[in-house]
């Protein structure tokens, strides 16, 4: 190693509201990516992140052979910088270093500089992040900055570097650049050898999930995963571990499924619900515009990093609605609906796709020249008193501000502890945080809970309208396949659980968007991403980036959920087609899926083996394969699942908290899928009544099929010959609950079906 590696403070993200697409793109174009004399080779890219750097004095290249060839021909090291457009510390480093003429000169003279959007190329990001995590005491983060040989072998890396030293105990970027350049000129051969040796070591370290393993996790390991997660649970504030505290939907989903699997473990349900309630009361939740920020910098969920990510919103909707299914707690359903309101209002393209993220930073005023974190979301007491100066109807001695400030813990001098505000950005500001229950607050003001909630909603609408006048945070309008597949699941689940046709229609719209814009039917392939052009139209990169295994995994999952919402067999057919393509391109014969094609030109072929902000594509695929196997009576898909679980056995046993979503797939595997087969016409009242009953329960190991309706079930009946035995007898709808298509006595009454599920081991109650 040339220097001691260092880790930056974590990257960030943000938010905005109620803006038409054209206004968004115009604002992005005019304020953040103005054409200028310094335009480099990023100027023709589509990624908002790459375009943010198109005017830097650095001669940036996109990832590709042009840059690699130039590095080889000139025998220069490659400086690789990876980030994303809503990353706070990426913005900081660009402002401090990449816009600096002197640093630009050093990079241009001594290096070939490459910029990568990690959301476009997760495969590149993972390889070099793995290198930094393996060679740095502080781990990884963004921006991710790595020095490579011309053969793409990493030799040194870190995250955020200040332009000069003595900041955050990190070496100065300028001195690091000069030091490494000098060492390369002095002895490039030994540095290249170091890079090759490091990659060889990393390759060996990852071999344990690339060989045939004859063991798979068994049921006794489930309690091990549950126990290790429970030990990290915060019983006072909810959530896991100490600050910074993340929502961890994968953990919460595992707890809900573990409770459903083993109903003696009521604590699993209690911990999940307690966390969901605490999060919804905290400053991590946007109480004015809805939706969740990325994470909390404190243990109490009070002071967030204000970035808003689509993947957090999409997962949390599902988790809140699953918890509602189990508990019937309407407050959980309300939060789920509110998050959806935010997504549909602020993160959606009119044609059905969904944007990636909103920034944490924004301009405090329209004439400001520098952005600050959370400027869009925080309030002074003076602002609130002015805006909420009216009195409460029927309580002339109370003004709106008094009630609002009581409920949301608003203070005259701000409610953020200076310890949580090292840069002084929140001085005198309030981050809304509920520290009293509705009942306590209503009683304090001698009001009914209904009256109190009406007042809070009135105040919220006033502040929301005022907030729209503020400069909006940057929106990353990139539309990514995996995240839109995730939203397909979210909308489908919302339609099922809430029984709201609006969400069903939106799910179908999103499915059509994916097939129109992110899928090539001719070659049956997904592409990674599309972009919003200046006129608001959806456009592709040329050539497009091919979809990764995670894109296939999440789109397949979404299509299966859409099938179980609409029961249109066409969605199931496409899911199976994509599953076959995923297996052909990404599957390791030993088990599991590589992140990208195994024949990729990258220096490593990896298989994602941990669930982080998102479940890994292998965890999602383990469940997809089981669902498809149970739906289509396909034994080959079942064996693909078994090989995958064999492959990840060591990781599951030794690092259980790293793979909660894969453990959720194991729960499905051990419980065995319950096939609920509905024979009837989809538009009949009796069929819809049966579907409504099924959707009222959280049955994590079910698959639901509808046969007997020639308009929708032709594909299913053709693929699964045994289903031809389930014939429609008149207009009566019949429901059969089956195991491997061996069924109990069929039911013809929704009431009987409800009673059977409620009292059987399939249900959660």
More confident residue, 488 or 742: 488
Asked whether residue 31 carries a pLDDT value surpassing 70, the answer given is no
Using the predicted structure, report yes or no on whether residue 727 has a pLDDT greater than 80.
no
**Mind giving me the DSSP string for 451-480?**
HHHHHHHHHHHHHHHHHTTSPPPPEE--EE
Q: Does residue 566 form part of some domain?
A: no
Which pLDDT does position 381 carry in this prediction? 97
Q: Cα(719)–Cα(579) distance, rounded to whole angstroms? A: 15
Tokens 């050539």, residue located: 543
Q: Is the bond preceding 143 in cis, omega lying within 30 degrees of 0?
A: yes
The percent of residues above 90 in pLDDT, for the chain, comes to: 77
Please state the pTM of the whole predicted model: 0.93
* pLDDT given for residue 5 in this prediction: 31
- H-type helices in 655-743, by residue range? 660-671, 685-695, 714-719
Quote the pLDDT of residue 210.
56
Place of tokens 């094609």: 597
CA-only gyration radius of the chain, Å: 27
pLDDT at 586 over 80: yes
Residue 18 CA to residue 468 CA, distance in Å, equals 8
Report in angstroms the alpha-carbon separations of 89 from 14, 141, 144: 13, 9, 10
Tokens of 263: 């109903």
From 408, 443, 467, give the residue that closes a domain.
467
Domain finish residue from 143, 170, 205: 205
Q: Which domain holds residue 434?
A: 377-467
Res. 209 pLDDT band, cuts 50 70 90:
low
Secondary structure (DSSP) of 339-408: HHHHHHHHSB-TTS-B--EE-SEE-SSTT-SS-EETTTT-B-HHHHHHHT-SEETTEEEEEHHHHHHHHT
Decide the pairing of beta strands 702-707 and 674-679: parallel
Q: At what angle do helices 569-586 and 549-566 cross, to 10 degrees?
A: 160
CA 351 to CA 345: how far, in whole Å?
13
Is 589 within a domain? no
Residue 22 is predicted with a pLDDT of 35
pLDDT > 90? residue 568: yes
Q: What are phi and psi of 478, to 5 degrees?
A: -65, 140
Residues 15/377, Cβ–Cβ less than 8 Å: yes
Helices (H), 648-698: 649-654, 660-671, 685-695
Q: At what angle do helices 310-327 and 266-281 cross, to 10 degrees?
A: 130
Is the pLDDT at 70 greater than 70? The verdict is yes
**Inter-residue contact 488 to 566 (CB < 8 Å):** no
């006129």: which residue's tokens?
535
What is the Cα–Cα distance from 27 to 393, expressed in whole angstroms?
A: 41
Indicate the pairing of strand 77-83 with strand 144-148.
antiparallel
- Helix or strand or coil: residue 101? helix
User: What own/partner pairs with CB < 8 Å and gap ≥ 24 does 160-166 have?
Assistant: 160/8, 160/9, 160/89, 160/92, 160/93, 161/6, 161/8, 161/93, 161/97, 162/96, 163/96, 163/97, 163/100, 163/103
| E strand or H helix that includes residue 144 | strand 144-148
Q: What is the mean pLDDT of residues 231-247?
A: 95
Residue 238 within any structural domain of the chain: no
Closest CA to 163 of 99, 113, 108, 116: 99
Taking residue 725's Cβ as centre, other Cβ atoms within 10 Å add up to: 11
Confidence of residue 503 (pLDDT cuts 50, 70, 90): very high
Give the separation between CA 400 and CA 384, rounded to whole angstroms.
Answer: 9
pLDDT at 150: 95
Number of domains observed in the structure of the chain: 3
Q: What percent of the chain has pLDDT over 70?
A: 92
489 three-class SS:
helix
pLDDT of residue 447: 92
In the predicted model, what is the mean pLDDT of residues 200-217?
69
Q: Is 304 helix (H, G, I), strand (E, B) or coil?
A: strand
Chain CA centroid to CA 85, Å: 15
Question: Has residue 335 got a pLDDT over 90?
Answer: yes
Beta strands, E only, 553-595:
none
> What pLDDT, in 10s, does the model give residues 651-666?
899 999 999 999 999 9
Distance of CA 241 to the CA centre of its chain: 20
pLDDT, residue 25, reads 36
The predicted structure's pLDDT at residue 140: 84
Query: Does residue 10 have a pLDDT over 70?
Result: no
Contact 503, 571 (CB under 8 A): no
pLDDT at 19: 40
What is the rounded end-to-end Cα distance, in angstroms, of the chain?
Answer: 57
| Kind and range of the H or E run holding 737 | strand 734-739
- Report residue 273 as tokens: 């619900």
Taking CA atoms, 723 is separated from 69, 569, 570, in Å, by: 58, 13, 17
In a domain, 372, yes or no: no
102 is a domain residue: yes
Residue 764 has pLDDT above 60, yes or no: no
pLDDT interval class at 386 (50, 70, 90):
very high
Helix (H) or strand (E) holding 157: strand 154-158
Which among 475, 543, 491, 410 has a CA at the least distance from the CA of 62?
543
19-23, 385-389, 504-508, 541-545: which range is least confident on average? 19-23
**Inter-residue contact 257 to 667 (CB < 8 Å):** yes
Instruction: Quote the pLDDT of residue 763.
Output: 42
Is residue 398, in this structure, part of any structural domain at all?
Answer: yes
Backbone angles phi and psi of 59, in degrees to 5:
-85, 70
pLDDT band at 212; cut points 50, 70, 90: low
Residue 41 phi, psi (nearest 5): -75, 0
How many Cα atoms are found within 13 Å in the side-chain-facing hemisphere of 550? 26
Tens of pLDDT along 254-307?
A: 999 999 998 778 999 999 999 999 999 999 999 999 999 999 999 999 999 999
**485 and 459 Cβ atoms separated by less than 8 Å:** no
Orientation of helix 660-671 relative to helix 249-261, angle to 10°: 20
C-alpha 123, offset from chain centre: 16
pLDDT averaged over every residue in the chain: 90
Give every CB contact of residue 625 below 8 A, 6+ residues apart in sequence: 579, 637, 638, 640, 641, 644
Q: Is 77 helix (H, G, I), strand (E, B) or coil?
A: strand
Which residue, of 467, 485, 517, is where some domain finishes?
467
Place of tokens 């003595």: 166
Of the pLDDT bands very low, low, confident and very high (cuts 50, 70, 90), residue 744 is confident
Residues 599-655: tens digit of each pLDDT: 677 888 899 989 999 999 999 999 999 999 999 999 999 999 999 999 998 889 999
Name the residue with tokens 């997904």: 526
**What CATH number has the domain bearing residue 714?**
3.40.30.10
DSSP summary character for residue 538? E
pLDDT at 182: 96
pLDDT of residue 53: 97
Residue 9 has pLDDT above 90, yes or no: no
pLDDT band at 135 (very low <50, low <70, confident <90, very high): confident
Q: For 587, which DSSP code? A: B
| Residue 75, C-beta contacts closer than 8 angstroms, at least 6 positions apart | 150, 188
Residue 116: C-alpha distances to residues 49, 120, 145, 203, 379 (Å) = 8, 8, 10, 22, 36
The yes-or-no verdict on residue 37 having pLDDT over 80 is no
Per-residue pLDDT for 366 more than 70? yes
Q: How crowded is residue 393: how many other Cβ atoms within 10 Å of its Cβ?
A: 11
In the 8-state DSSP scheme, what is residue 95?
I
Q: Residue 18: is its pLDDT beyond 60? A: no
Comparing 56-70, 186-200, 263-277, 488-502, the range with the smallest average pLDDT is 186-200
Length of the chain: 765
**Residue 578 within any structural domain of the chain:** no
- Calculate mean pLDDT across residues 717-729: 85
Average pLDDT over residues 357-374: 95
Which residues in 326-362 are b (16+ Cβ under 10 Å) and which e? bbebebbbebbbbbbebbeebbbbebbbbbbbbbbbb
d(CA 79, CA 60): 10
Instruction: Name the token pair of 251.
Output: 């953990």
């Amino acid at each position: 190693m040339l220097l001691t590696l260092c880790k930056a403070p974590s990257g960030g993200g943000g938010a905005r509201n109620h803006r038409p697409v054209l206004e968004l793109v115009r604002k992005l174009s005019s304020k953040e990516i103005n054409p200028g004399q310094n335009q480099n080779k990023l100027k023709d890219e589509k990624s908002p992140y790459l375009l943010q750097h198109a005017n830097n004095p650095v001669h940036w290249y996109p990832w590709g052979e042009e840059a690699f060839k130039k590095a080889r021909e000139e025998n220069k090291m490659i400086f690789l910088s990876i980030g994303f457009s809503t990353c706070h510390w990426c913005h900081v480093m660009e402002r401090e270093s990449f816009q600096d003429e002197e640093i630009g000169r050093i990079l241009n003279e001594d290096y070939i500089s490459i910029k990568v959007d990690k959301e476009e190329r997760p495969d590149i990001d993972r390889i070099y992040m793995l290198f930094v995590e393996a060679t740095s005491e502080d781990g990884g983060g963004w921006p991710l900055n790595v020095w490579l040989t011309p053969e793409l072998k990493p030799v040194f890396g870190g995250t955020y570097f200040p332009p000069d030293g003595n900041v955050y105990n990190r070496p100065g970027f300028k001195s690091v650049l000069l030091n490494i350049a000098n060492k390369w000129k002095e002895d490039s051969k030994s540095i290249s050898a170091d890079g090759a040796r490091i990659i060889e070591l990393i390759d060996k370290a990852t071999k344990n999930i690339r060989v045939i393993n004859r063991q798979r996790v068994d049921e006794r390991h489930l309690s091990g995963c549950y126990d290790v997660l429970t030990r990290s649970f915060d019983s006072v504030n909810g959530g896991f571990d100490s600050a910074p505290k993340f929502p961890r939907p994968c953990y919460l989903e595992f707890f809900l499924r573990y409770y459903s699997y083993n109903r003696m473990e009521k604590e699993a349900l209690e911990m999940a619900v307690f966390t969901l309630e605490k999060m919804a009361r905290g400053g991590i939740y946007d109480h004015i515009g809805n939706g969740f920020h990325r994470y909390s910098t404190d243990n109490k969920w009070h002071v967030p990093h204000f970035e808003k990510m689509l993947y957090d919103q999409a997962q949390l909707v599902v988790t809140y609605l699953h918890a509602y299914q189990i508990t019937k707690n309407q407050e959980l359903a309300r939060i789920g609906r509110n998050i959806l309101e935010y997504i549909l209002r602020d993160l959606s393209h009119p044609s059905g796709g969904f944007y990636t993220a909103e920034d944490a930073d924004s301009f405090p005023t329209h004439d400001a020249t520098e952005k600050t974190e959370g400027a869009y979301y925080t309030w002074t007491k003076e602002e609130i008193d002015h805006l909420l100066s009216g009195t409460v109807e029927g309580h002339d001695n109370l003004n709106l501000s008094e009630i609002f400030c009581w409920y949301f813990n608003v203070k005259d001098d701000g409610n953020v502890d200076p310890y949580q505000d090292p840069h002084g950005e929140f001085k005198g500001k309030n981050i809304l945080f509920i520290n009293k229950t509705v009942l306590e607050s209503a009683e304090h003001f001698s009001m009914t809970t209904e009256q109190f909630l009406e007042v809070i909603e009135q105040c919220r609408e006033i502040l929301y309208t005022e907030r729209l006048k503020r400069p909006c945070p940057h929106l990353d309008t990139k539309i990514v396949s995996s995240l839109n597949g995730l939203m397909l699941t979210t909308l489908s689940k919302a339609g099922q659980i809430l029984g709201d046709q609006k969400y069903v229609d939106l799910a179908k719209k999103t499915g059509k968007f994916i097939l129109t814009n992110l899928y090539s039917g001719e070659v049956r392939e997904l592409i990674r991403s599309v972009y919003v052009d200046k006129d608001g139209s959806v456009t592709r990169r040329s050539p497009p980036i091919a979809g990764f295994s995670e894109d296939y995994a999440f789109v397949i999952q979404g299509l299966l959920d859409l099938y179980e919402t609409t029961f249109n067999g066409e969605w199931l057919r496409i899911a199976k087609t994509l599953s076959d393509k995923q297996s052909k391109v990404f599957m390791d014969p030993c088990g599991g899926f590589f992140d990208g094609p195994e024949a990729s030109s990258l220096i490593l072929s990896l298989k994602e083996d941990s669930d982080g902000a998102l479940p890994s594509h292998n965890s999602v695929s383990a469940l997809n394969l089981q669902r498809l196997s149970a739906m289509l009576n396909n034994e080959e898909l079942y064996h693909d699942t078994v090989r995958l679980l064999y492959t990840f056995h060591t990781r599951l046993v030794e690092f259980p908290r790293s793979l909660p979503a894969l453990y959720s797939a194991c729960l499905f595997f051990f419980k065995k899928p319950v096939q609920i087969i509905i024979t009837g016409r989809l538009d009949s009242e009796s069929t819809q009544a049966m579907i409504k009953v099924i959707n009222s329960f959280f049955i994590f190991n079910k698959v639901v099929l509808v046969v007997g309706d020639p308009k929708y079930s032709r594909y299913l009946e053709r693929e699964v010959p045994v289903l031809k035995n389930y014939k429609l007898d008149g207009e009566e709808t019949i429901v059969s609950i089956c195991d491997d298509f061996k069924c109990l006595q069929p039911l013809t009454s929704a009431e009987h079906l409800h009673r059977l599920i409620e009292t059987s081991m399939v249900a959660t109650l």
